Amino acid sequence: MSKNEGTKHDPNRGYSIDTGKKKRRNLLTGLGVLILVVAVAVVVINATKGDDASAKNFGDNLKIGYNSAFASEQRLLEFVNEEIAPDYGLTIEPVSIADPQQIDRSVSEGILAGTIYEHKHWMNFQKQSGGFEVEAVLPIYKWAFAVYSDKHDSLEDLPDGATIAVPDDPSNQSQALWQLEKAGLIKLDPDVDPWTVQLADVTENPHNYNLKPLGLAVMPRALQNLDAAMSYVDFFDSADVPADKEIASPIAPDEFDAQLVIGTKYADDPSIDKLKELWADPRIQEYIEKEGKPAIFPVTAG
């Protein structure tokens, strides 16, 4: 027997005769590779199915993100979890996150079932900057977008040339400028969508105000160096700015209602349907009416 034990050689004919052992060995090797490939494919498919199932089934314990600086949101979520959620078979778990982008990223990726911290214009800004797949489905409350001052008692007391801080992000800057125009202090280009106006769209500034862009969270700390600052009441409250420093607190227009925001690809999840029903419960608006001031107001406020 030669070392090619699977083959017999006939010296007279010059060709080899396969006894079948080599063929069987090749067949077994091929079957082994095929079984391995199928096994790997099954594992990958099952893993993918598992991810899809978990992504599309939040269950009854729903994590809702809120901005860490907004104590009013935390209180609202705690009320909803204690008084409203049990009636819908849900548990609401408030999740505090300081970075707004992380909130929307977590909602987009299904880590959070939703958030209630943002209005739709800020949401669109976040979507464009971060590429998140989120959508607003229901207005929840109105913000108190306040003007604070260390030096003056009212908007009328602001002197010519006063430095007024306005938000540096596009969506909230639009809101601040809209409020200043509503108060009769400036005029904006009428040909520009009022919900997208920026500093460049100020056409009349009769008092020569220095409208200074600043981050929302920075304003409370910078207040002593400004004549006035415009931001959300929650930011000032969180920074322990006395309430008597507030010189104006107009209620935000409907365009800036804070929304229930969900991940777009989870919109058909049965748990998300229940979540939307929960937030439409009229008891939530009743609570905001009684307990939300001075930071938030019900959606019917005007």
**pLDDT tens figures, 95-134:** 999 999 999 999 999 999 999 999 999 999 899 999 999 9
Question: The domain containing residue 150 runs over which residues?
Answer: 145-250
Task: Report residue 206 CA to chain centroid gap.
Answer: 38
Q: Let me know whether 156 and 187 are in one domain.
A: yes
Residue 192 lies in a domain: yes
Distances (CA, A) of 199 to 163, 165, 213: 14, 12, 9
Residue 15 lies in a domain: no
Position 9 pLDDT exceeds 50:
no
Q: Let me know whether 132 and 261 are in one domain.
A: yes
The whole-number pLDDT of residue 45 equals 33
Q: Let me know whether 171 and 246 are in one domain.
A: yes
Question: Which tens digit of pLDDT belongs to each residue from 260-290?
Answer: 999 999 999 999 999 999 999 999 999 999 9
* CA-wise closest residue to 67 among 195, 233, 255: 233
Give the CATH number for residue 187.
3.40.190.10
The whole-number pLDDT of residue 22 equals 47
Residue 5 lies in a domain: no
Contact 119, 135 (CB under 8 A): no
| Local confidence band at 46 (pLDDT 50, 70, 90 cut-offs) | very low
Q: Let me know whether 152 and 286 are in one domain.
A: no
The mean pLDDT value of the chain amounts to 85
Question: Which tens digit of pLDDT belongs to each residue from 64-101?
Answer: 999 998 999 999 999 999 999 999 999 999 999 999 99
Q: Let me know whether 261 and 184 are in one domain.
A: no
| Local confidence band at 56 (pLDDT 50, 70, 90 cut-offs) | low
Q: Let me know whether 112 and 190 are in one domain.
A: no
Position 28 pLDDT exceeds 70:
no
Position 47 pLDDT exceeds 80:
no
Residue 26 lies in a domain: no
Q: Let me know whether 109 and 127 are in one domain.
A: yes
Question: Which tens digit of pLDDT belongs to each residue from 190-199?
Answer: 999 988 999 9
Question: Which tens digit of pLDDT belongs to each residue from 215-236?
Answer: 998 999 999 999 999 999 989 9
Distances (CA, A) of 186 to 178, 203, 207: 9, 8, 8
Cα 109 from Cα 122, distance rounded (Å): 18
Q: Let me know whether 135 and 160 are in one domain.
A: no
The whole-number pLDDT of residue 195 equals 87
Structural domain count, the chain: 2
Position 244 pLDDT exceeds 70:
yes
Strands 114-119 and 61-67: parallel
If you average pLDDT over residues 17-38, what whole number do you get? 44
Could you tell me the two tokens for 36?
């391995």
Strands 145-148 and 246-248: antiparallel
**Which amino acid would we find at residue 191?**
D
Position 31 pLDDT exceeds 60:
no
> Which of 2-16, 69-83, 93-107, 142-156 has the weakest average pLDDT?
2-16
Q: Let me know whether 137 and 267 are in one domain.
A: yes
Task: Report residue 51 CA to chain centroid gap.
Answer: 22
The share of the chain scoring above pLDDT 90, in percent, equals 71
Cα 283 from Cα 289, distance rounded (Å): 10
The whole-number pLDDT of residue 6 equals 44
Highest average pLDDT, of 138-142, 215-219, 298-302, comes from 138-142
Cα 234 from Cα 240, distance rounded (Å): 10
Residue 52 lies in a domain: no
* CA-wise closest residue to 248 among 156, 160, 148: 148
Contact 167, 216 (CB under 8 A): yes
Strands 145-148 and 163-167: unpaired
Contact 241, 228 (CB under 8 A): no
The whole-number pLDDT of residue 294 equals 87
Residue 91 lies in a domain: yes
Q: Let me know whether 176 and 225 are in one domain.
A: yes
